[in-house]
Structure 1
Amino acid sequence: MFSVEERDRVRARLLARAEADEAVVGAAWTGSHAVAAGDRWSDTDLVLAVRGGLAATVDRWTRWLRSALGARHHWDLRSDTSTVRVFLLPGWLEVDLTFTPEAEFGPRGPQWHTVFGRTRTPEPFPEPDGNALAGLLWHHVLHAFVCLERGHRWQAAYWIGAVRDHVVTLACLRLGLPAAHAKGAHLLPDELAAELETTLVRSLDGPDLRRALTAAVTVAAGELRRSDPALAARLSPLLAELEEANERAAGGR
């Protein structure tokens, strides 16, 4: 694994490259390092403001990361106007580079530290949609049940895990914790964490999958009651019906 010293050297080289690139008119650290909260395992997140079209600058930087820093692979996150390119360097060092138009260079959240360049005030990233998350909960428990009925055990395990993930996101939203990518999951109350643990699939045996699904339905219904009581009242009878059907199937009746 990479060392802190190796990561710091890469960060210094990235910044020097940005300062020397005439097409780059701004740079900012984001993520944990931007707010002095990074640790030994933190990756590197850098936003570059680009004057003119992005494609040529993205390609030029990609070639440089391969030749100068030994990047082994890269891939892109979807973004409307920016290119977010994620690189894997030797030693499992991750570098996330966001190439954004000059007019959109600015913080969209609290984890931002401008190194140079003029910042604007873009619209903040939207929070996850609680109503859509609630919809995903009932959708996923339904599909997990159907997969079990069809004997598709791997797919059932997938849907049960997805239910748990969305409960975590919905709970984080409700409690004002970081909601994206389970970043606030470790801050959830112990009682809820214990409930979530019961949804873990321990085996692809039918009985354990049925048990995990029942637990997932119970946890999802509980979080809906806390997050949106009115919606929970409408969905509770259906969730209870599915839970009863799952229990009957588990008992072979």
Structure 2
Amino acid sequence: MYTPEERERVRRELIAAARADPRIAAAALTGSAAVGREDRWSDIDLAFGLSEDSQISSALDDWTARMYEEHGAVHHMDVRSGTWLYRVFMLANSLQVDLAFAPQGDFAAKAPTFQLLFGTAPERPSTPPSAEQLIGWAWLYALHVRSALARGKLWQAEYMVSAARDSILAAACRRHGVPAAEGRGMDQLPDAVTDPLRDA
């Protein structure tokens, strides 16, 4: 298990490497560290704006090699969101490092957890789902629970129950003014909201 000191050292080295990489026009600290909420279990989240779209492929190759050769990565996976590519690395000491690469024209704050380190980035927060959309998904999932049970598909039914619960809790997060994405605010909800869902 990594220590906070090891995490800070790796992050410092990655930021220094980003500053030295002529392809990277801007960089930001994202995630919990960007808003002072980092704890013992937090990972490293960095986002890079590439000066030219054509440089993303070579930057990915070079940064992937760096993560394996210099920081002990043992595996990685990619997650895409629009023009952004998030390369998620798992290090041998269990530290997760998320490096996001985006064209400079699309490099912008997508959430409040965005602290610009160098370069420029306009604020373009993404629009979270509305309460109406979340409740709509909840009842749609609930209907699918019924049909999955009728077909004897118990695992699919369980999946749909969990998805319905997640949508209900996300709507409650919006109502109570806490983060709704990825369950980040669910533990801040009042017991009166979460208690009825504990056995769901």
State the TM-score, normalized to the length of structure 1. Answer: 0.74
Please say if residues 104 and 122 of structure 1, whose CA atoms lie closer than 8 Å, have aligned partners that are also in contact.
no
Structure with bigger gyration radius: 1
Q: 1:17 to 1:188 in 2, by over 3 A?
A: same
Once the two structures are superposed, residues 148-199 of structure 1 have per-residue CA deviations (whole angstroms, 9 ceiling, x without a partner) of: 2222222222211111111111111222210100101011111111011021
Residues 1:141 and 2:128 are matched in the alignment: no
Relative contact order, higher structure (CA 8 A, sep 6+) = 2
Once the two structures are superposed, residues 185-239 of structure 1 have per-residue CA deviations (whole angstroms, 9 ceiling, x without a partner) of: 011111111011021xxxxxxxxxxxxxxxxxxxxxxxxxxxxxxxxxxxxxxxx
Please say if residues 143 and 156 of structure 1, whose CA atoms lie closer than 8 Å, have aligned partners that are also in contact.
yes
Letter in 2 for 1:198: D
**Alpha-carbon distance in 2 for matches of 1:180, 1:100:** 21
Q: Shift of residue 122 of structure 1?
A: 4.3
Q: 1:105 to 1:140 in 2, by over 3 A?
A: closer
Once the two structures are superposed, residues 122-146 of structure 1 have per-residue CA deviations (whole angstroms, 9 ceiling, x without a partner) of: 4211112433322221221112112
**Alpha-carbon distance in 1 for matches of 2:24, 2:6:** 24
**Alpha-carbon distance in 1 for matches of 2:131, 2:87:** 28
Please say if residues 35 and 111 of structure 1, whose CA atoms lie closer than 8 Å, have aligned partners that are also in contact.
yes
Question: What corresponds to 1:12 in structure 2?
Answer: 12
For the residue of structure 1 that corresponds to 2:99, the secondary structure is strand
State the TM-score, normalized to the length of structure 2. Answer: 0.92
Letter in 2 for 1:4: P
Aligned counterpart in structure 1 of residue 86 of structure 2, from 59, 84, 87: 84
Over the matched positions of the two proteins, sequence identity in percent amounts to: 41
Letter in 1 for 2:90: L
**Alpha-carbon distance in 1 for matches of 2:20, 2:48:** 12
How big is the alpha-carbon RMSD for the aligned residues of Structure 1 and Structure 2? 1.5
Please say if residues 26 and 121 of structure 2, whose CA atoms lie closer than 8 Å, have aligned partners that are also in contact.
no
Once the two structures are superposed, residues 78-135 of structure 1 have per-residue CA deviations (whole angstroms, 9 ceiling, x without a partner) of: 2212211111111210111111222333323322222221x23142111124333222
Residues 1:72 and 2:69 are matched in the alignment: no
**Alpha-carbon distance in 2 for matches of 1:4, 1:189:** 31
Question: What corresponds to 1:238 in structure 2?
Answer: none
Question: What corresponds to 2:95 in structure 1?
Answer: 93
Q: Shift of residue 43 of structure 1?
A: 0.7
Please say if residues 137 and 167 of structure 2, whose CA atoms lie closer than 8 Å, have aligned partners that are also in contact.
yes
For the residue of structure 1 that corresponds to 2:81, the secondary structure is coil
Stretches of structure 1 lacking an aligned partner (at least 5 in a row): 200-253
Q: 1:61 to 1:146 in 2, by over 3 A?
A: same
Question: What corresponds to 1:168 in structure 2?
Answer: 169
Once the two structures are superposed, residues 42-68 of structure 1 have per-residue CA deviations (whole angstroms, 9 ceiling, x without a partner) of: 111111121112111112111211121
Letter in 2 for 1:172: C
Question: What corresponds to 2:157 in structure 1?
Answer: 156
Aligned length: 198
**Relative to total residues, which structure has the larger helix share, 1 or 2?**
1
Q: 1:156 to 1:108 in 2, by over 3 A?
A: closer
For the residue of structure 1 that corresponds to 2:73, the secondary structure is coil
Q: 1:154 to 1:5 in 2, by over 3 A?
A: same
**Alpha-carbon distance in 2 for matches of 1:6, 1:34:** 18
Runs of 4+ in 1 over 4 A off after TM superposition: none
